[in-house]
Chains A and B, each alone.
Chain A
Amino acid sequence: MKRTAFIALSVTAGLLPAAQAFASDGGAGGGGGLPQMDASTYPGQIFWLAVSFALIYVVMAAISLPRVRETLDRRQAHKDSNLDKAGQFNDEAEKVKKAYEKSLAEAQKKAATAMAAAARDASAKAAQEQSAFAEKARKRLADTERNIAKAKTEALGSMTEIATGIAADITQKVANLSVDEADAKRAVETALKEHAA
């Protein structure tokens, strides 16, 4: 569109002075018009045009254009191979990335398993320790209780003896009676039993 507009513009721009030129030429009645119309120059012009055309054509077709083509093809090949290489590198990088991600995931999984196992172990051990401690504590408690009971029994036993002694002494001092120790003991035990009942 732009091209056509420019051509139209240049033609119109050219037409004005040209018309004037032709008019003035006609008015002057001489000049012979356009030199382009002189047919005697035609053979020479065609000859030299043919020479230059042939010169350009032969050199272009035989040397220049194949050479430019070769250069362009070479560049294209170079570009393509570079692109190929880049693509390969990209693929490789992608592969490495995938492998890395895979190993990372594996490591994470392994770590999680190990952590779970450790936690399980720890809690098991804790439970074991706790139960062992509880057992020990219970045993010691039982021991202590038994000791206390023993001590109590002992204390109670010796209390009977003391009471027997005291009872015998009191009987001696108050009633002036000599009491057999075995009788005194029996009497105290009977009294204690009655008291307990």
Chain B
Amino acid sequence: MSDNILEQFSLKTLVPLHAGSLNIPFTQSSAFMIAGALLTIALMTLSVRRKALVPGRWQNVSEILYESIFGLTKEYLNDEARKYFPFVFTVFMVVLMGNLFGLIPFAYTYTSQIIVTGALAALVVGFATLLGFAKHGLHFFSLFFPKGTPIVMAPFIIPVEIISYLSRPVSLSIRLCLNMVMGHMLMRLIGGFCVTMIALGIGMKLFTAVTFSVNTLLMALECLVALIQAHVFAVLTCVYLKDGVELH
């Protein structure tokens, strides 16, 4: 086992693939992405196959996922909720699967890759921006000058608003990515510590037990963080979509 705690984030190519001059290898990260997609599809499709009036366990899981994310979408987008709900739901499930898969030992957390969260965030903000222009045309720029602001404030407000708008994808992607990276680094660090101490042997057993318990608790915390971060991502997706759909 490598002592480098960053080693867990490196990609390993399983199947080398090329699209023209582009190198698109099927890595373990890709494998977990596809697994996450398949699991999501299986969960959301097979569990409601019977459309039971009294849901079983799995159907209950699907319904809870559906209702929580639909409730969220409804809260922000009201009447438009149905239209954008599949998008929000997909974003949520992609993030959730990445976060949760990462908690299985030896699995790869694809949401710890800044390019993955960055691409997702760019998709969300890009989609919201496109929606804004499609719905309101050039009026969309009024987003950068909130109603009721004195006109003399314009030179200050507008740059601030533009910067804050542009920082949306940055904060969105970095928040998720760093949460995952830090959590996994910490778990790997403490886990490696346990292993080292066991290797040192005698007298370290009690200390190892303590550290191991800390890691167990950390694991529980990370489960929570995984859910919360997916939720936060979905909430912000709704907020940004709302800006695009409704302006202010």
- Count chain A residues whose beta carbon lies closer than 8 angstroms to a beta carbon of B: 54
Chain A, Cβ-Cβ closest to B225: A10
Asked if residues B66 and A35 are in contact (CB atoms below 8 Å), the reply is no
**How many angstroms from the CA of A44 to the CA of B26 in the assembled complex?**
7
Residues of B within 8 A of A25 (CB): 4, 6
**How many angstroms from the CA of A69 to the CA of B112 in the assembled complex?**
32
Asked if residues A45 and B182 are in contact (CB atoms below 8 Å), the reply is no
B-contacting residues, A39-89, CB 8 Å: 40-53, 55-57, 59-61, 63-65, 67-72, 74-75, 78
A-contacting residues, B1-60, CB 8 Å: 4-7, 9-11, 17, 19, 22-27, 29-30, 33-34, 36-38, 40-41, 44-45, 48, 51-53, 55, 59
**How many angstroms from the CA of A44 to the CA of B28 in the assembled complex?**
12
Known: A49-B110, A56-B93. A10 touches B24 (CB 8 A): no
The 8 Å CB contact of A10, one of B55, B67, B183, is: B183
Interface flags for B65-96 (1: CB within 8 Å of A; 0: not) read 01100000000000000000111011001100
A31 within 8 A of B: yes
**How many angstroms from the CA of A42 to the CA of B218 in the assembled complex?**
30
Interface residues on B, range: 35 or more
Residues of A within 8 A of B4 (CB): 25, 31
Chain A, Cβ-Cβ closest to B13: A44
Asked if residues B51 and A74 are in contact (CB atoms below 8 Å), the reply is yes
CB proximity of A22 to chain B, nearest CB, Å: 9
Asked if residues A43 and B221 are in contact (CB atoms below 8 Å), the reply is no
Asked if residues B11 and A33 are in contact (CB atoms below 8 Å), the reply is no
Asked if residues A45 and B177 are in contact (CB atoms below 8 Å), the reply is no
A14 within 8 A of B: yes
Chain A, Cβ-Cβ closest to B235: A3
B243 within 8 A of A: no
Asked if residues B27 and A64 are in contact (CB atoms below 8 Å), the reply is no
B195 within 8 A of A: no
Pick the most buried of B48, B63, B67, B94: most chain A CB atoms within 10 A of its CB. Answer: B48
A-contacting residues, B87-126, CB 8 Å: 87, 89-90, 93-94, 110, 112-116, 119-120, 123
CB proximity of B79 to chain A, nearest CB, Å: 16
Interface flags for A116-127 (1: CB within 8 Å of B; 0: not) read 000000000000
Asked if residues A45 and B29 are in contact (CB atoms below 8 Å), the reply is yes
CB proximity of A66 to chain B, nearest CB, Å: 9
B239 within 8 A of A: no
Chain A at the B interface: SS class: helix
**How many angstroms from the CA of A51 to the CA of B177 in the assembled complex?**
20
The 8 Å CB contact of A65, one of B66, B185, B218, B228, is: B66
A18 within 8 A of B: yes
Asked if residues B37 and A6 are in contact (CB atoms below 8 Å), the reply is no
Asked if residues A52 and B48 are in contact (CB atoms below 8 Å), the reply is no
B178 within 8 A of A: yes
B131 within 8 A of A: no
B62 within 8 A of A: yes
Residues of B within 8 A of A52 (CB): 33-34, 36-37, 94
Asked if residues B179 and A49 are in contact (CB atoms below 8 Å), the reply is no
Asked if residues B9 and A36 are in contact (CB atoms below 8 Å), the reply is yes
The 8 Å CB contact of A7, one of B33, B52, B113, B225, is: B225
Asked if residues B182 and A13 are in contact (CB atoms below 8 Å), the reply is yes
**How many angstroms from the CA of A46 to the CA of B30 in the assembled complex?**
10
Asked if residues A56 and B94 are in contact (CB atoms below 8 Å), the reply is yes
Residues of B within 8 A of A50 (CB): 119
The 14 listed contacts between A and B (C-beta, < 8 Å) are A10-B221, A10-B225, A13-B186, A36-B114, A36-B181, A44-B17, A49-B33, A49-B116, A55-B37, A56-B40, A59-B41, A64-B48, A68-B63, A71-B48
Interface residues in chain A, defined as those with a beta carbon under 8 Å from any beta carbon in chain B: 3, 6-7, 9-11, 13-18, 20-21, 25, 31, 33-38, 40-53, 55-57, 59-61, 63-65, 67-72, 74-75, 78
Closest 5 CB pairs of A and B: A14-B182, A48-B30, A64-B44, A61-B86, A52-B37
